[in-house]
Structures are given as structure tokens and as C-alpha cells.
Amino acid sequence: MPGHVDRADSFRVAGWAITAERRGSEVVEIFVDGASVATVLASRFRIALRDRGIAEGLCAFNHVFDNPIATFLPTTVEVKSSSTGKTLGPGPIIVPPLLANGTDYNINLDSTFYTASVRSISVSELVSKVSVLVLGPRSAKLNVAVNPRELELLEQSVLPGNTGPWRINESLGKPVVCWNVSFQVRHRKNPGAQFAIASIEDRAQDSSSTPTPQTIPLGVCIPCGTTWLELPSAEHWSRIASPGMTAEMFAAGGVNSAYKITAIAKKYLPAKRGITVVDWGVGCGRVAVPLKRIFLPNATVIGYDVDEFNIEWCKNQLSDVRAETCDYFPPLELAAQSVDLMYGISVMTHLTQAAQEIWLREIKRIMKPNGVCILSVHGDYSLLGNRGFSPIVFQQLKAFGISDISYNWDGLGPKLSLKGYYRGTFQLRQQVEEAWSKHFQIVEYLPAANELNQDFVVLKRI
Ligand SMILES: C[S@@+](CC[C@H](N)C(=O)[O-])C[C@H]1O[C@@H](n2cnc3c(N)ncnc32)[C@H](O)[C@@H]1O
């Protein structure tokens, strides 16, 4: 009887162990899915063990995992005695998933799923070099296609990729893999060819016939040159993104989001020309500027933000986007039923559940009937990486489907006038669907559509 594991769950593993000679505390090694994660001395006092005459009760351990385990997938925990190498009873324990039922993980990545994100881009006078991370079905064989076709596709390579710390492809266990797609596009100094849109030709072999390439629009848009964009200083974009971002990355991220938003809007919007578009949380126009200048030149684009610093920059620099400071809570200075298309890129990701609810009502007020609203959220997909979240975040997610307690202390949060307003909010798809469908029809939910991290929720005002 060298010891026992009494409890293992997503947050901790607890038990007791004594040395083989039964003289005292034992060192135990803890394994999660076969990998050693910690070595601890089982020396905590527990009355029940003392009452049973075991090592005067000084042989318990209670190890809290650095990051919660088994968030979406069942995970095995095993504790071994260091001196004998033997596994403590009752043997390896399978911890059930915390946030998903059974073996189904809410994340809807099926055999038709594709998403992509530009990871690096280098633009010179004549050639743009691009590296894109693509997630898609395991069966696919990919080829890059570039539009307009007069742009010359120089080199391309499709190599196995990985999603960095997220390890999506492994942690999902779904038929989804990751590729690192790199290519070069040669362009001329031709104002009509300021950007290229890349799609992927999926040559997946269907067993009965010859492969038919299927063109998958990945929403990857590559600026050939950055002259069409007035770039703000790093002081401005660091408020809305990570420090160290290059001008090309700023441009590429914004133009890609703008392209995706336009493509979605065109599917659902009844009116195509002369529409009113609201960029809610416009920041320094990263998305609004390419949207207006490239994709929807006939639209009236209005950007709102609570951050006066960036709105000031927009007002001074952008003649084609109307920028307005707004309050942390509604209303916006817009008439009821006046907006055709609204989007909020990484705004809901910073709001409490209560603020989300209040803003959903306001968005409904200003949208025209059949108007479309695209909001990004930190959904199930962004949780997969399990990147240092506090156990409280997962407890909240388990109980309410949403966690909004994490203050944003090191980003824009402390710079805003309303302290404590700006959060890091995570929510499950199921919670979004239940809470948001009270106000809107959810016409599409696109996992990882924004920068391979945030999900897009496409709402229609009915
Ligand atoms: C992560 S940044 C994204 C900026 C921009 N959408 C982009 O993608 O570049 C979030 C922005 O939302 C703004 N924001 C937060 N709450 C807001 C609110 N209630 N109304 C308008 N803007 C808000 C912040 O000030 C910040 O500029």
C-alpha cells in the first residue's frame, strides 16, 4: 500500500503516498496523457491518514495543474511513486472533458471545414511573399490559386504546418490538419492590381472518379504594396494589437478581415450599393479603411470607438471613414433601423456578459430589417490552446458558458477612462447561440474565421 490517488479532475490531482519502507513521505511523479508534468513531495498533513496510522498523516499531496486539463477531450492522469516507479492505485484515471459532452467537442470542424490566416507577408516593389496557415480536411491536396489571374504566381509550397501553441490538429482528434502554405505573387505597378485574393484548390480524391479541383475561397487577400493604406504609428496600433506588429502585418490583417466581412455580407445583404456600414470598435481603421477603399467604395462607412486617442487619429487622417467617439454603453448616435451592415472585430471579446447583452439590444435597434451584423468572439476554438487560463475561467465556462472575469491589465484596459471595463472574455458556441438568438437570427457561425483564433458570428436582424 504505497499510496492512492483519491481525486483527479481538470484542475488538480490529490492523494497520498509513502516510501516503500513505509517510513515517511514519498516523492511522486504526475503524468498527464503520458507526459510528466510535475514531481511533488507527498508531505501534506491529513487528519484521516493520521487516524488510519499512516505516516502520522504527513504524506498527502494536492497538485493544482498550471493549466486546467481535459478541457475538450478526455485526458488520462497517472501518479507514480518515484522510488518504485509503480503507479498508485486505482491506476490511471480518465478525467472526463470539462466543457464538452461525451466525446463531442462543440467545435464544429467537419469534413468541409476550411479556414486560413496570413501569418507573414513581405511586400516589395514587384513581388509579395506570403505565408498562410490553413486548416482543412485531412483528405485534401492543396494548390494555391490567385485572383486576378494576371498576377503571376511564382513559387508555391504546401507543407505540413502546426498551429503553434494551439496544437489544434492534435487536440481535436478530428479529421482536420494544418498546412503552411507559402507563395510569391509578382505584380506590376498597376493601380488595378493592388491586391490579390488567394483561394485553395482542393484536389481531394474521391474514390469513384478522377479528382476534380474544388476552389475554396479562403478569404486571404494580399496587398501588393501598402500605398492604399495610411498607416498609423505603432503607438496607435499597439492599442488594438500585439506590440511588434509590422506595417505589412497590420495591413494584411485588416485587409483580410475586410475581405471576409464583405464576402459574408454580399451573401446575405439585400442591397449591394450605397449601403451604410458601421465598424463598431474601429480602432485606427485597420479594417474600415481597406473595406471602404477596396471592397465597398460606394458604402458610407462610420467607425465608432470608446478610445478617443485612436478616434482622434481617424478624424485627422481618414477623409473617407467617418469616425466618432462613443460611450461604453448605448446608445450610439444613430437612428433606429438605419444600418445595413455592422461588424465588431474583437469587441465582444472584451465585454462582460451584461455589456454584451446591452449592446446586442442596441445593435438590433439600429439595424435595418434583414441587415447583417458580424461579430467576432473568443469561442471554443480559442480555448483549445489552454494558454495559461485561470481555473476560475474554466469554472465559469462550465457553469455559465461564458467567462468575463479576466481584466485586461496589460493591453488597452488601463488606458481607457472606465477602469475595469475592458476584459478578456471567452464563451462557448452553445452560449452564444442561446443568448444571441434571443435578439437575432444566427445565420452562420464560422469557427476560427478571424486570424485562426476568433469565431465569426453572423447575425441577421429579423
Ligand atoms: C481589439 S481592438 C480591435 C480594433 C479593430 N476592430 C481592429 O480589428 O483593428 C477592440 C476595440 O474595441 C473598442 N471598444 C471596446 N468596447 C467598445 C464599445 N463598447 N464601443 C465601441 N468600441 C469599443 C476598443 O477601444 C478597441 O479599439
Domain ranges of the chain: 3-95, 104-225, 227-462
| Contact predicate 404/425, CB 8 Å | yes
User: Block means of pLDDT (10 residues each) for the chain, length 462 residues?
Assistant: 91 94 86 95 96 94 90 89 93 88 49 77 81 79 78 85 52 64 79 68 61 70 73 88 73 88 91 90 95 92 98 96 98 98 97 98 97 94 72 90 92 94 94 97 90 90 92
Give whole-number Cα distances, 233 to 309, 315, 321, 391, in Å. Answer: 12, 15, 18, 37
Between CA 25 and CA 27, with CA 26 as vertex, the angle to 5 degrees is 130
CATH class assigned to 104-225:
mainly beta
C-beta 346 within 6 A of ligand 1: yes
CATH of domain 227-462: 3.40.50.150
CB atoms near residue 152 (< 10 Å):
13
Q: Is the CB of 304 under 6 A from ligand 1?
A: yes
Other CB atoms within 10 Å distance of the CB of residue 104 = 10
pLDDT of amino acid 338? 97
Q: Judge residue 274's burial from the number of C-beta atoms within 10 Å of its C-beta, 0-12 exposed, 13-18 middle, 19 or more buried.
A: exposed
pLDDT of residue 169: 44
Ligand 1, atom 25: closest residue by C-alpha = 307
Separation of CA 172 and ligand 1 centre (Å): 30
Does 305 sit in the ligand 1 pocket, CB within 6 Å? yes
- 3-class secondary-structure state, position 266: helix
Check for a shared fold between 3-95 and 104-225: yes
293's CB contacts (< 8 A; 6+ apart) are 228, 229, 320
Which of 235, 250, 284, 305 gets mutated to test ligand 1 (max ligand atoms within 8 A of its CB)?
A: 305
DSSP string, 3-52: EEEEEE-SSEEEEEEB-TTSSSBEEEEEEETTEEEEEEEE-EE-HHHHHT
| Nearest-atom index, ligand 1, CA of 284 | 9
Calculate the dihedral angle through the C-alpha atoms of 142, 148, 151, 152, rounding to the nearest 10 degrees: 30
| Residue owning the nearest CA to atom 14 of ligand 1 | 281
Quick one: cell of 314? 481617424
pLDDT of residue 163: 58
Distance (angstroms) between ligand 1 centre and the Cα of 307 equals: 8
CA 16 to CA 3: how far, in whole Å? 5
Q: In whole angstroms, give the CA distance from residue 9 to residue 69.
A: 8
Q: Sheet holding 127-137: strands in order across?
A: 115-123, 127-137, 176-186, 152-160
Distance CA 11, CA 291 (A): 44
CATH number, domain 3-95, options 2.20.28, 3.40.50, 2.60.40, 2.30.29 = 2.60.40
Decide: 80 and 29 in contact? Cβ < 8 Å.
yes
Q: For residue 170, what pLDDT is reported?
A: 47
Pairing of strands 44-45, 3-8: unpaired
Atom of ligand 1 minimally distant from the CA of 351: 16
